[in-house]
């Protein structure tokens, strides 16, 4: 999906609907409805939106009835009253084909909320269980991060991407954070010493804060070099390109150890 930063932008626009009453639910694509009987979505009609929450990449719309959970896959976008906080994702067109509107709400007071997802990798569900996810990466403390990594032989990057253990990081953010922290993504997750853990936590917090300001996961310093022949923005060394945790990984062999 969009990673945690983009979902946070989505949550902020979704917040505009707080106080409105759902007049109609549009779910033209049953496949997009997860772990929920599509017919059950009708119970949302007449419910009032009371708030929004986010855990990792899961957006939750609270109502005085069920909670509506929204997931965005890699190419999902949220539109509220036709306003999009993100016009265009890296690998998704800025177009809005009618068949890409996978789910939507119409409000009694006017206005609408739409989930547009060309690749159909996202989904919606009623009463999602946020505790299936690990702690949210935006607020995790140093001790929490230590616990996420402790005892694991998995590659550091794979562990940080495991949403059941730490919710929110995606492929771009994790590469950016590890590059800034000077840590090799292939290191065993449980093998960091206390000073490395502190460094990782510091760069995790700083990178998220900085990129939230700058406009999202694709605004990192490494982003422009995520290609074959890419070079480390800091030292010019050709970047290493590997598959770690099942995802294409770029790292600097010189200063990521």
Partner DNA sequence: CCGGATGTTCACCT
Partner DNA sequence: GAGGTGAACATCCG
What is d(CA 121, CA 150) in angstroms, rounded to the nearest whole number?
31
> Has 57 been annotated as catalytic?
yes
Q: Are 176 and 222 in contact (CB under 8 A)?
A: yes
Of 49 and 52, which CB lies nearer to DNA in the complex structure? 52
**Minimum CB distance to DNA smaller for 26 or for 48:** 26
- Between 20 and 71, whose beta carbon lies closer to DNA? 71
Report the helix count and the strand count for the chain, using DSSP H and E.
Answer: 5, 10
DSSP states of 175-237: HHHHHHHT--TTSBGGG--HHHHHHHHHHHHHHHHHHHHHTSGGGSTTGGG-STT-B-TTT-P
**Least distance from C-beta 193 to DNA, angstroms?**
18
Per DSSP, what are the bridge partners of residue 26? 104
Task: Using alpha carbons, select from 48, 71, 74, 207 the residue that is nearest to residue 132.
Answer: 71
Whole-angstrom CA distances from 118 to 21, 93, 99, 114 are 28, 8, 8, 13
| CB of 80 or CB of 149, closer to DNA | 149
* Distance in Å, CB of 57 to DNA, minimum: 4
Nearest approach in angstroms of CB 38 to DNA is: 16
Residues 6+ apart with CB under 8 A from 41: 25, 27, 33, 124, 126
Choose, from 2, 135, 155, 185, the residue flagged as catalytic.
2
Which position among 54, 55, 57, 180 bears the catalytic label? Answer: 57
Dihedral (CA of 165, 167, 168, 170) sign? positive
Q: Which residues bind DNA (CB under 7 A)?
A: 1-3, 6, 31, 56-57, 71, 73-74, 86, 89-93, 95, 97, 99-100, 118-121, 152-155, 158, 161, 163, 170-172, 189, 216-218, 226, 243, 245-248
We find the least distance from the C-beta atom of residue 34 to DNA, in angstroms, to be 7
Active site residue 194: no
Kindly tell me which of 51 and 246 has the beta carbon lying closer to DNA: 246
Q: How far is the CB of 99 from DNA (least distance, A)?
A: 6
Nearer to DNA, 171 or 256 (CB): 171
Q: How far is the CB of 14 from DNA (least distance, A)?
A: 17
* 16 classed as catalytic: no
Nearest alpha carbon to residue 117 among 157, 84, 144: 84
Catalytic status, residue 227: no
By annotation, the residues acting in catalysis are 2-3, 57, 247
């Amino acid at each position: 999906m969009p990673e945690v930063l983009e979902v946070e932008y989505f949550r902020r626009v979704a917040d505009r609907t707080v106080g409105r009453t759902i007049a109609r639910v549009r779910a033209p694509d049953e496949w997009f409805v997860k772990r929920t009987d599509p017919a059950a979505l009708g119970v949302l009609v007449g419910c009032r939106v009371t708030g929004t929450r986010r855990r990792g990449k899961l957006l939750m719309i609270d109502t005085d009835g069920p909670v509506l959970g929204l997931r965005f896959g890699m190419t999902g976008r949220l539109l509220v009253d036709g306003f999009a906080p993100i016009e265009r994702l890296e690998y998704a067109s800025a177009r809005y084909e009618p068949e890409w509107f996978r789910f939507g709400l119409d409000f009694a007071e006017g206005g609408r909320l739409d989930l547009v997802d060309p690749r159909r990798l996202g989904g919606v569900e009623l009463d999602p269980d946020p505790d299936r996810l690990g702690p949210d990466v935006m607020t995790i403390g140093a001790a929490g991060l230590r616990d996420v990594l402790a005892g694991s032989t998995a590659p550091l990057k794979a562990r940080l991407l495991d949403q059941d253990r730490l919710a929110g990081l995606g492929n771009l953010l994790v590469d950016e954070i590890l590059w800034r922290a000077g840590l090799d993504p292939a290191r065993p997750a449980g093998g960091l010493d206390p000073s490395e853990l502190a460094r990782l936590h510091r760069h995790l917090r700083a990178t998220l804060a900085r990129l939230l300001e700058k406009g999202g996961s694709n605004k990192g310093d490494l982003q422009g070099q995520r290609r074959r022949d890419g070079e480390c923005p800091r030292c010019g060394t050709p970047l290493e390109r590997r598959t770690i945790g099942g995802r294409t990984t770029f790292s600097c062999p010189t200063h990521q150890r």
